[in-house]
Chains A and B, each alone.
Chain A
Amino acid sequence: MATTPTPRKMVVVYSRADRIFRRIVTAGALTSLLLLGLIAGFLIFRSSGTFREFGLSFITGSEWFSAGEDPIGGATTALVNADDASVFSIGPMIVGSLVVALIAMFLAVPLSIGGALYIEFYAPRGIYRILVSLLDLAAAVPSLIFGLWGIQVFTPIGVRWATLLNDRLGFIPLFSVEFENFARSPFVAGCVLAALVVPITTSVAREVYSRTPRDLIDTCFALGGTKWGAIRSVVIPYGKSGVIAGAMLGLGRALGETVAIYLMLNLVFDYSFQILDSAGGNVASMIALKFGEATDKEISALIAAGLVLFIITLMVNMIASSIVQRSTPRA
């Protein structure tokens, strides 16, 4: 009886060029990881004081008061040399970030899917290229421009929409208001944010839809289907995971958006789910708003807020990639 041989070791000797290339790409990959680690390290280090002092209440609480300054809300209770009176917590800002981002996504995703399907399947060939490059151009417009456009152009329109919503659906708590001042509300800010996100999500969705195997679409037609039938039964299911990924990319941008929100939203340290009310929250804009005049202690708290934002964005991305992996169709 033949004895089973011991498996041989398979040694690969890479060529010199291969080894050098390997080192370069490894270095590239490690650099980005290292940078990410350094950023996280910096945030954790600089915010540790804040977390030590306020613990979980930094995330859950709804008060931001830096001793030596007026608290938000106006009442002059300025205390000199009473550092201990400072309270920092960002609960409403976290919730506000999510609310505004969700409003933006609620508007942007259907628009993007519709737009992408139009460009890819209905647009005349003459304007197809123009639309695709316009989309890329729009994605590159700085968010400051969107913010300025939001204030100067969109706000009156958004206020009109908000008035209509409040008028017709005001009985739903979500659309009720304390004061009928709809400007600088999460809804109007969310609309501008949607406009900012649409180019990215549309661009990704179009790219995904354009990769639908021509074969499958042809099959739908060969079975007597219409274009809409082919889109519904092949293009949309095939592109599902890619579109989700694009939406998450947009959500990541919406959560981290600073300048446009800074210009468009009234920051109020109160939990509010009345999206038409002129009061909202946003972590990134709050940091931008307060950084300039912050005390040392407040800066630590702002960096802590940055860390929270960093973690939320990281979580969104992780959820996105797990959704994409789960819903990728088997070929």
Chain B
Amino acid sequence: MTQQNVDSTKTVPQQFDASPDFRGLETRGAHAWFGTHHALADVSLRFPEQTVTGLIGPSGCGKSTFIRLLNRMHEFIPSAAMAGEILLNGSDIYAPSEDPASIRLKVGMVFQKPNPFPAMTIRENVLAGIKLAHLKRDNHDDIVEQCLSRAGLWKEVKDRLGASGGSLSGGQQQRLCIARSLAVEPQVLLMDEPCSALDPGSTLRIEETIKELAEKITVVIVTHNMQQASRVSDFCAFFLTDGGPGYLVEADATRKIFTNPTDSRTADYVQGKFG
């Protein structure tokens, strides 16, 4: 049964960039397990530099599992296992010589619920990563201003950097979390449904931020919101599960996924026929 699913996905993945000296994040035949539960099967995908890729699909199809594979957060769950390769600019992030902490510096993550550190001020929140990772930086003021500006929050908070992060609105908090991730200068930013807890206005602000971020870094965003995927992403990857492990149905330019997908299931999903 499981074997069947794995086989059925073998032919599907489409590469939107097949050059051999690819730069960016790439997965090759990635699998994920939780104990004996096979959660994700054989995902091969490329996330080119300075692009936004949306991961879409119904709940439980392994999108979040997949995204947590990409910065080695998967292994925090006891009994979690993986197979395949995940390459950042050509080198395997699961290689024994790689330090997971330094991988996570290069591949940052923003979570579903805005979660500024409650005991810290806005400024301290932005600088938290630098402190946590013991990075040597002298220009703290510049970093705070730069990161908050890139996250689209600077103008709103520049006069109250000493206020608690918790005093901001939900949307502002999420942008603070984005600024916090940017402070350690990641090459890739993973976002796991970053807007699902926010109001439409805040969602739009975050989407603008995401587009601006992609001018410099690679963004991978999980979303349940089809409009958001079509607005914000350059590429889309559609995941599905048939009760077994989640797998990749197809991945392509966002326009193609939404107007003329190869697989009829993708068409049904993006048109809201299921999910």
Contacts and interface: CB of A to CB of B under 8 A. Distances in A.
Contacts of B201: none
B118 A329 contact: yes
B10 to A, nearest CB: 32
Interface string A217-242: 01111111110011001100110000
A19 interface: no
A222 B166 contact: no
Interface in B122-161: 128-129, 131-133
Contact of B73 (A216, A221, A233, A330): A221
B175 interface: no
B166 A330 contact: yes
A218 B133 contact: no
Nearest to A330: B166
Interface residues of B, number: 29
B101 A330 contact: no
A264 to B, nearest CB: 39
A238 B118 contact: yes
Contacts of B109: 218-219, 222
Contacts of A219: 109, 111, 115, 117, 177, 180
Contact of B132 (A218, A223, A237, A330): A223
A326 interface: no
B264 to A, nearest CB: 37
Contacts of A110: none
A233 B128 contact: yes
A270 B192 CA distance: 66
Contacts of A230: 132
Interface in A233-273: 233-234, 237-238
Interface in A198-216: 213, 215-216
Interface string B43-78: 000000000000000000000000000010100101
A222 B73 contact: yes
Contacts of B105: 223-224
A226 B135 CA distance: 13
Contacts of B177: 219
Given A215-B111, A330-B166, A331-B166, A221 B118 contact: no
A9 interface: no
A8 interface: no
Contacts of A222: 71, 73, 104, 108-109, 111, 181
Interface string B152-179: 0000000000001011000000000100
A106 B26 CA distance: 53
B4 to A, nearest CB: 33
B184 interface: yes
A108 B108 CA distance: 39
A224 B73 contact: no
A135 to B, nearest CB: 21
B115 A213 contact: yes
A218 B73 contact: yes
B128 A224 contact: no
Contacts of B128: 220, 223, 233
B113 interface: yes
B111 A233 contact: no
Contact of B76 (A213, A218, A223): A218
A16 interface: no
Contacts of B104: 221-224
B72 to A, nearest CB: 9
Interface string A313-331: 0000000000000000111
Contacts of B18: none
B8 to A, nearest CB: 33
A229 B168 CA distance: 25
A9 to B, nearest CB: 35
Contacts of B76: 218, 221
28 contacts: A213-B115, A215-B111, A215-B115, A216-B117, A216-B118, A218-B73, A219-B115, A221-B73, A222-B104, A222-B108, A222-B109, A222-B111, A223-B104, A223-B128, A223-B129, A223-B133, A223-B184, A224-B104, A224-B132, A225-B101, A229-B133, A237-B118, A238-B118, A329-B118, A329-B119, A330-B164, A330-B166, A330-B167
**Which 4 A/B pairs are nearest by Cβ-Cβ distance?**
A225-B132, A223-B129, A224-B105, A224-B133
Interface of A: 125, 213, 215-216, 218-226, 229-230, 233-234, 237-238, 329-331
